[in-house]
A = this chain, B = another copy of it.
Amino acid sequence: MLNNLTNHIKKFVELHGIDVELINSVVTVKQVKKKTFLLEPDHICRDLYFVSKGCLRLYFINKKLNEQITQFAIENWWMSDHGSLESGKPSSYFIQAVENSEVISISKPKLEELFEKVPSLERYFRIVQQRAFIASQKRIEYIYSMSDEERYRHFNSLFPDFIQRIPQYMLASYLGFTPQFMSKIRAKKV
């Protein structure tokens, strides 16, 4: 649904009818099946993805050849490899659909054009970017102030329904420990 995006934007800035049309004219809606890749390593990331329905994950393969998830995006979140997008250099990340999803994508050049035509989008993305930064800082704070076990329990209490949506090994990866350790603490809980 195209409206999901512009409705989200309207929560932060005013949009006129013409703005909505302009935005909708440059984005594309994609239905992506579970396990589909939107980005793979060695490719330059050229798009921003807005999750209108479903769930995406961002991950890379670490030295021990395990998947390391660094981000999830669910409804109303943006997903991209901002590093690659900004620098134009090849990514080392995968972006993959965790569930069958609907994604609204916009290319970087189209977004730049939009900024000229709809200046209030600068503000929208400033605010969205700021929130992402705050969340990211909060995450670093948690990494440095809680043990893995504490962080697992904390995450559980904050996002009880999200953890139902994804396999446990993905949450273990996101939280930075092994599935085995996760089983251990879950067993303890009872």
Which residues of A from 117 to 151 have beta carbons under 8 Å from B?
119, 122-123, 125-126, 129-134, 136-141, 143-145
List residues of chain B with CB within 8 A of the CB of A138.
83
Interface-forming stretch among A3-11, A26-34, A62-70, A97-105? A62-70
- Residue from the list B68, B119, B129, B143 in contact with A176, Cβ < 8 A: B143
**A83: nearest chain-B partner, CB-CB:** B134
Interface size (A, Cβ < 8 Å)?
31
The CA of A123 and the CA of B119, in the complex, are separated in Å by: 9
- Residue from the list B82, B119, B134 in contact with A122, Cβ < 8 A: B119
Asked if A21 CB lies within 8 Å of chain B CBs, one says: no
Would you list 11 pairs from A and B whose C-beta atoms are within 8 A, ordered by A residue? Answer: A70-B140, A86-B130, A119-B119, A119-B122, A122-B126, A125-B130, A126-B129, A129-B130, A129-B133, A136-B136, A140-B143
The CA of A176 and the CA of B139, in the complex, are separated in Å by: 13
The CA of A10 and the CA of B63, in the complex, are separated in Å by: 40
4 other contacts beyond A62-B144, A119-B119, A129-B129, with CB at 8 A cut-off?
Answer: A63-B145, A68-B141, A122-B123, A129-B133
List residues of chain B with CB within 8 A of the CB of A119.
119, 122
Asked if A77 CB lies within 8 Å of chain B CBs, one says: no
**A93: nearest chain-B partner, CB-CB:** B141
List residues of chain B with CB within 8 A of the CB of A176.
143-144
Asked if A169 CB lies within 8 Å of chain B CBs, one says: no
Nearest-Cβ distance from residue A49 to partner chain B, whole angstroms: 16
